[in-house]
Amino acid sequence: MTRSKTLAAGAALVFATLTALSGAASAHDRYGYDTRSQYRSDRIDARQYRQAAAIRHGIVTGQLNRREAQHLVRQQREIDRAEAWAQADGHVSWRERERIEAMQDHAGRSIRRELGDHRGW
């Protein structure tokens, strides 16, 4: 009789623990904490993709010379490195995101300036 009570109490404890943990996980998902940070990372990646496409377009059309293209590609690599460093702990803080977006703003201005200078010789 004692063994069955111990077994029942242990099963109830395991069930209660699992129920509490699953409730915490679903509350975390319900408020969008995981999806929000994923959305921000996707937005950063989409902007990187658009900037890389603009650089490729400039190379193909001859609007960028070799030196300009190398400079712009180097900027994109630095942004990729900063993003990877920020995501290393599994969470991109608002400061890290602001820094990456500032780097992307600077790179975007550089791309527009180089594509518009008409010196692709």
pLDDT of residue 24: 47
| Residue reference for tokens 């600077």 | 106
Q: What is the mean pLDDT of residues 44-60?
A: 94
Q: What is the DSSP string of 35-86?
A: HHHHHHHHHHHHHHHHHHHHHHHHHHHT-S-HHHHHHHHHHHHHHHHHHHHH
Please count the structural domains in the chain.
Answer: 2
Asked whether residue 121 is domain-assigned, the answer is: no
53-101 confidence digits (pLDDT tens): 999 999 999 999 999 999 999 999 999 999 999 999 988 899 999 999 9
Q: Find the domain containing 49 and state its range.
A: 34-116
- The answer on 39 and 27 residing in a single domain is no
- The answer on 100 and 70 residing in a single domain is yes
- The answer on 53 and 26 residing in a single domain is no
pLDDT at 52 over 60: yes
| Residue reference for tokens 């990187």 | 48
